[in-house]
Structure 1
Amino acid sequence: MHTVIERSTRAHLTASDLHVARGGRPVLTGVDLVVSAGDRLGVVGENGRGKTTLLQVLAGALTPDAGSVRRTGTVGVADQEIPVPPQRSVGDLIDVELAGVRAVLRRFDAAVADLAEERPGAERAYADALAAAEAVDAWDADRRVDLSLAALGAVDDRARPLDTLSVGQRYRIRLACLLGARHDLLLLDEPTNHLDAGGLDHLTARLREHPGGVVLVSHDRALLADVVTEVLDLDPTSDGRPRTYAGGYAGYREGHRAERERWAAEHREQQRERQRLSDDLSAAQNRLSTSWRPDKGTGKHTRATRAPALVRAVHRRRADLEAHAVTAPEPPMRFTPPPLPALPGATLLDATDVTVHGRMDRPQSLALSSGDRLVVTGPNGSGKSSLLAVLAGRLEPSTGRVHRSRTARIGLLAQESPPPSRRRALDVYDAAIGRLVSAGRLAESDVVPLGALGLLTSRDARRPVSELSVGQQRRLDLAVLLAARPHVVLLDEPTNHLSITLVDELTEELGGSPAALVIATHDRQLLRDTASWPRLAL
């Protein structure tokens, strides 16, 4: 059975050549987009690329420095942060979000009254009011909100004060209102941040059947794969302008990869040509210095007459080199982990009946050898992080035992980074690897420089860790982990704070590693990508 969805013909959003700078730094450069009824545009990019800024511009909350935005139809916005006016209740928030629907119903009621009194023009006004109410199914709006409140696990007590609720609860209430209000255009900023599995399923279904247009900023790869029809990528490109990819999330992944490969190939070719021209100039200069000054004796006249031609050749080569420009900027780094080792024939880690009081009360047992794979699943609070910390030796179990091979290196990427220091990222990295070398746990020949991993630029590597973004700190954690060449890799929610591109590269690169790999995650796309791996459900 197929659901027939009446598309909102009013929904239309156009942005042309948007430019926004803050503090003298470009945030958005040359953004163009068109969203009509039935379009669901995903917006992706690294932290700091202007995704939230773009939504603010599209909503009219921020005026761009250049460019224009045209909106047709009603607009519903779900920001990451929701201010809480004093003494406002859940019901007040619902009334604010459904104000447009309430206004449509008031116009309809007025039109009915005019029609009953046979006022001039009442029939036309009634027809218009009826069409407007039917377009948003206004009579069913409160029921739709109630259904979404329940599906998203949100508070439905309309008398409850908003300031007694968590940020997540307030966000879920607003999201439920937006899904029920049937706005022509929905602008959503990271809507999955505060949702459980049931809420994610409900959001996905509502967005797929939304009759208007949607602009969705998200790092949730599963939501993007299930919902969007196009993707706007704000990450750097070879010409500095954003790219829009058709074909949904799959089209974006394919197009993004091809774009990066073309960019890298063009940059390499321009670098090779410049090197060739530089070599030609050096050769011409060498010929001039060795050929125009004749040795004493024979050939003096012949060699002297060659000098003007050699000088002209040098000038030509220098002019060719100066005329050649490397127009393709340095392409973005690609994640390149060092080879991870195996210890064949050995049990690297063996845990028997381990528990952690108050965190993981049900005993868990597992054994890992080289090449083993395991995905640990379970709801928040079930003990996934505690189990990985016990396996890594960072947390003592309350009961049970853990045996680790003396020769095995075990590395853990914790869910949160350690408190940031004022030390440079490069110094933190070098110190961590230096300790392993000094202890005889890592050979000098196995040490890789931070820059070789493709996780931090040379500029960011020289910045204090406290000045790095959360995502950059997470990249440093990953660099320290992998540079230690672990035989067992434990990853706790590895998609947190990492870009879509890096997560895809991490999954691809580590998937074929000979090291043992354990991942604790609730990320739906990562669960899909590891569907063939054994599962441990807590």
Structure 2
Amino acid sequence: MSTVIDRSTRAHLTASGVHVARGGRPVLTGVDLTVSAGERLGVVGENGRGKTTLLQVLAGTLVPDAGSVHRAGTVGVADQEIPVADGRTVGELIDVELAGVRAILRRFETAVADLAAEQPGAEQRYADALAAAEAVDAWDADRRVDLSLAALGAVDDRSRRLDTLSVGQRYRIRLACLLGARHDLLLLDEPTNHLDAGGLDHLTARLREHAGRVVLVSHDRALLADVATAVLDLDPTSDGRPRTYAGGFAGYREGHRAERERWAAEHREQQRERQRLSDDLSAAQNRLSTGWRPDKGTGKHTRATRAPALVRAVHRRRADLEAHAVTAPEPPLRFSAPPLPALPGATLLDAVDVTVAGRLDRPQSLALSSGDRLVVTGPNGSGKSSLLAALAGRIEPGTGRVHRSRSARVGILAQESPPASRQRALDVYDAAVGRLVTAGRIAEGDVVPLGALGLLTGRDARRPVAELSVGQQRRLDLAVLLAARPHVVLLDEPTNHLSIALVDELTEAVRATPAAVVIATHDRQLLRDTGEWPRLAL
């Protein structure tokens, strides 16, 4: 008699002491984690902390420099970027992602044939194959993929070539496949970046009901709050090792704050102890230097002979303190938005009946003055990015017109970064600023050094752009936008790839700026934070 084994309880994921360095720079240090049945681990941290690297280690595509990873069961991975082979189609990608399910069905069909032929051991093989197929409901996998393709707004034409699709479309197809395959372990990197409201609801529901394990790298605050059962924080700690917080996203928020406060308190106490030891050492040395030539009298002579012992004792205490030194908490990057200008009384941008062929079908009209706010919403494919690109002058409208005041500077943060070069980030920024000054768009005195914006550390600013994480590249894009001191700020999905702390700081900055601001977003928390802003639904 065969015993059916529940795959969700058999599968597991553990990592112990994982270290990864790149170019001599530690990326991951001492990562330990265990993900059990039904758990959904969120992974957070500032841009460049190694979140994507950790997923690669957990998936087995990157071997760590030290430490170990153990996983059992099937693994589904959704990377931020999906390579596209020439001529590969949507159907071929679906077949690749459902290869495990297809193999289970082939084993079942073989077992059925063996059973019909009365082969020796066929009954056991049939029972095992049936249990494996039922565990993932293999017969329904293609239907589940089709449902997810529809819910995520992805292309479902299996003959369509992948290289004709956008990055977001390819990602949504991959995600639909993973949700349909019912893998034991899902490793997802920023899965909400390319989803609209309907897709976000579908993803949230599927993850919450997933019986296996989920490791989720995300900056989406709403998704983490709705889905994560625990959070791994890769930001620096007092002992240099990452922290895992129970209690979901709320538990992480509270735990992270308490950890920073505790670390800072320990450092302050050690600094006070250092000062006490320094004072004691100074006093003992003074007694020693003046005590070798004491006045006549037994008491003073006794004090002089004790002085060397006191000095040695203070030295021992100071050496012990150095051996257990608590480093100062690494100050996090703090975004400092430069003051953006206003042009009171002027219409900065005026769009009338704008359409973009094949992308924005319904004519749209709007007018912006300094201080105006607007949130553009709508499902994927409704034309939000195309409208912002037309407003910025990056594409010409098919019909209608866009008038931009000659005095107004219009800047846009596009949804995707330009192709990464081998130029240093600092050089890219300085070149962009130099072009603005040369063209007379900004004055020399208005130039803000890259380091003053709090978007990249000095070390990262000196690295080639191609070596920066996707989030760090987007920070550079934001820096270049702000360097132009725009009167109109157009932000296309501004929370994509940016850290949670930076999103909070950016939200605060755009709420306060006197410039006009237009945001196109699906981010549920950002929509809540800008709830009082006017809406343009496409």
8 Å CA contact retained: 1:292, 1:304: yes
What is aligned with 2:397? none
8 Å CA contact retained: 1:43, 1:216: yes
Instruction: String of CA shifts for 1:7-33, please: whole Å, max 9, x gaps.
Output: 833332222222223333332222222
Instruction: String of CA shifts for 1:145-202, please: whole Å, max 9, x gaps.
Output: 2222223333333334444444443333332222211221222223334333333332
**Cα deviation, residue 522, structure 1:** 0.6
8 Å CA contact retained: 1:486, 1:515: no
TM-score (norm 2): 0.74
Structure 1 stretch displaced more, 502-511 or 69-78: 502-511
Task: Note the 1:89-238 alignment, pairs <5 A.
Answer: 89-238=89-238
Task: Provide the C-alpha distance between the structure 1 equivalents of 2:87 and 2:338, rounded to a whole number of angstroms.
Answer: 58
**Cα deviation, residue 241, structure 1:** 1.1
SS state of the match for residue 8, structure 2? coil
2:384 aligned residue (380, 384, 387): 380
8 Å CA contact retained: 2:456, 2:472: yes
8 Å CA contact retained: 1:385, 1:492: no
Task: Provide the C-alpha distance between the structure 1 equivalents of 2:234 and 2:375, rounded to a whole number of angstroms.
Answer: 32
8 Å CA contact retained: 1:149, 1:173: yes
Label 1:292 to 1:411 Cα distance change in 2 as closer, same or farther (>3 A): farther
Task: Note the 1:315-394 alignment, pairs <5 A.
Answer: 320-325=317-322, 326-333=325-332, 335=334, 337=336, 353-355=350-352, 362-365=364-367, 375-377=375-377, 379-381=383-385, 383-384=387-388
**Cα deviation, residue 478, structure 1:** 6.5
Label 1:342 to 1:46 Cα distance change in 2 as closer, same or farther (>3 A): closer
Residue 270 in structure 1 maps to residue 270 in structure 2: yes
**Cα deviation, residue 424, structure 1:** 5.1
Structure 1 stretch displaced more, 301-310 or 496-505: 301-310
Residue type at the aligned position of 2:181: A
Task: Provide the C-alpha distance between the structure 2 equivalents of 1:193 and 1:56, rounded to a whole number of angstroms.
Answer: 19
SS state of the match for residue 384, structure 2? coil
Task: Note the 1:392-407 alignment, pairs <5 A.
Answer: none
What is aligned with 1:393? none
8 Å CA contact retained: 1:413, 1:481: yes
Label 1:413 to 1:127 Cα distance change in 2 as closer, same or farther (>3 A): same
8 Å CA contact retained: 2:264, 2:328: no
Task: Provide the C-alpha distance between the structure 2 equivalents of 1:269 and 1:204, rounded to a whole number of angstroms.
Answer: 44
8 Å CA contact retained: 1:338, 1:485: no
SS state of the match for residue 498, structure 1? coil
Structure 1 stretch displaced more, 462-471 or 74-83: 462-471
Residue type at the aligned position of 1:328: T
Residue type at the aligned position of 1:331: E
Residue type at the aligned position of 2:34: V
8 Å CA contact retained: 2:385, 2:492: no
Residue type at the aligned position of 1:522: T
Residue type at the aligned position of 2:334: F
Percent identity at matched positions? 70
Task: Note the 1:41-60 alignment, pairs <5 A.
Answer: 41-60=41-60
Task: Provide the C-alpha distance between the structure 2 equivalents of 1:529 and 1:226, rounded to a whole number of angstroms.
Answer: 17
Structure 1 stretch displaced more, 319-328 or 11-20: 319-328
Instruction: String of CA shifts for 1:51-102, please: whole Å, max 9, x gaps.
Output: 2222222222233233222222222222333344455433333222222222
Instruction: String of CA shifts for 1:474-521, please: whole Å, max 9, x gaps.
Output: 65776799999999987664424431222234446776x586784514
Task: Provide the C-alpha distance between the structure 2 equivalents of 1:50 and 1:328, rounded to a whole number of angstroms.
Answer: 21
Label 1:285 to 1:454 Cα distance change in 2 as closer, same or farther (>3 A): farther
**Cα deviation, residue 141, structure 1:** 1.2
Structure 1 stretch displaced more, 380-389 or 324-333: 380-389
Structure 1 stretch displaced more, 348-357 or 524-533: 348-357
8 Å CA contact retained: 1:40, 1:213: yes
SS state of the match for residue 232, structure 2? strand
SS state of the match for residue 126, structure 2? helix
Residue 23 in structure 1 maps to residue 23 in structure 2: yes
8 Å CA contact retained: 1:232, 1:242: yes
SS state of the match for residue 324, structure 1? helix
Q: What value does the CA root-mean-square deviation take over the aligned residues? A: 4.8
Label 1:260 to 1:340 Cα distance change in 2 as closer, same or farther (>3 A): farther
8 Å CA contact retained: 2:374, 2:518: yes
Residue type at the aligned position of 1:324: L
Label 1:293 to 1:470 Cα distance change in 2 as closer, same or farther (>3 A): farther
Q: Which runs of 5+ in 1 are unaligned?
A: 1-5, 391-396
SS state of the match for residue 29, structure 1? strand
SS state of the match for residue 155, structure 2? coil
What is aligned with 2:67? 67
Task: Provide the C-alpha distance between the structure 2 equivalents of 1:417 and 1:160, rounded to a whole number of angstroms.
Answer: 25
Task: Provide the C-alpha distance between the structure 2 equivalents of 1:285 and 1:485, rounded to a whole number of angstroms.
Answer: 59
Task: Provide the C-alpha distance between the structure 1 equivalents of 2:135 and 2:462, rounded to a whole number of angstroms.
Answer: 56
Task: Note the 1:337-486 alignment, pairs <5 A.
Answer: 337=336, 353-355=350-352, 362-365=364-367, 375-377=375-377, 379-381=383-385, 383-384=387-388, 414-415=413-414, 455-457=455-457, 459-460=459-460, 471-472=471-472, 475=475
SS state of the match for residue 362, structure 1? strand
Structure 1 stretch displaced more, 241-250 or 373-382: 373-382
Task: Provide the C-alpha distance between the structure 1 equivalents of 2:449 and 2:276, rounded to a whole number of angstroms.
Answer: 29
Instruction: String of CA shifts for 1:295-353, please: whole Å, max 9, x gaps.
Output: xxxx987999787777776666565445433323432326275898999xx96775685
SS state of the match for residue 187, structure 2? strand
8 Å CA contact retained: 2:333, 2:456: no
Instruction: String of CA shifts for 1:384-428, please: whole Å, max 9, x gaps.
Output: 4665899xxxxxx956686999xxxx9967448899976958996
What is aligned with 2:3? none
**Cα deviation, residue 375, structure 1:** 4.0
Residue type at the aligned position of 1:364: L
8 Å CA contact retained: 1:424, 1:465: no
Label 1:470 to 1:109 Cα distance change in 2 as closer, same or farther (>3 A): closer
Residue type at the aligned position of 1:133: A
**Cα deviation, residue 136, structure 1:** 0.9
Residue type at the aligned position of 1:76: G
Residue type at the aligned position of 2:16: S
**Cα deviation, residue 138, structure 1:** 1.2
SS state of the match for residue 64, structure 1? coil
**Cα deviation, residue 105, structure 1:** 1.9
Task: Provide the C-alpha distance between the structure 2 equivalents of 1:264 and 1:453, rounded to a whole number of angstroms.
Answer: 24
Task: Provide the C-alpha distance between the structure 2 equivalents of 1:472 and 1:126, rounded to a whole number of angstroms.
Answer: 52
SS state of the match for residue 231, structure 2? strand
TM-score (norm 1): 0.74
Task: Provide the C-alpha distance between the structure 1 equivalents of 2:417 and 2:8, rounded to a whole number of angstroms.
Answer: 45
Label 1:104 to 1:476 Cα distance change in 2 as closer, same or farther (>3 A): closer
Residue type at the aligned position of 2:103: A
Task: Provide the C-alpha distance between the structure 2 equivalents of 1:488 and 1:280, rounded to a whole number of angstroms.
Answer: 61
What is aligned with 1:501? 501
Label 1:485 to 1:322 Cα distance change in 2 as closer, same or farther (>3 A): farther
Paired residue total: 505
Task: Provide the C-alpha distance between the structure 2 equivalents of 1:223 and 1:271, rounded to a whole number of angstroms.
Answer: 40
Task: Provide the C-alpha distance between the structure 2 equivalents of 1:74 and 1:323, rounded to a whole number of angstroms.
Answer: 50
Task: Provide the C-alpha distance between the structure 2 equivalents of 1:469 and 1:123, rounded to a whole number of angstroms.
Answer: 52
Label 1:24 to 1:199 Cα distance change in 2 as closer, same or farther (>3 A): same
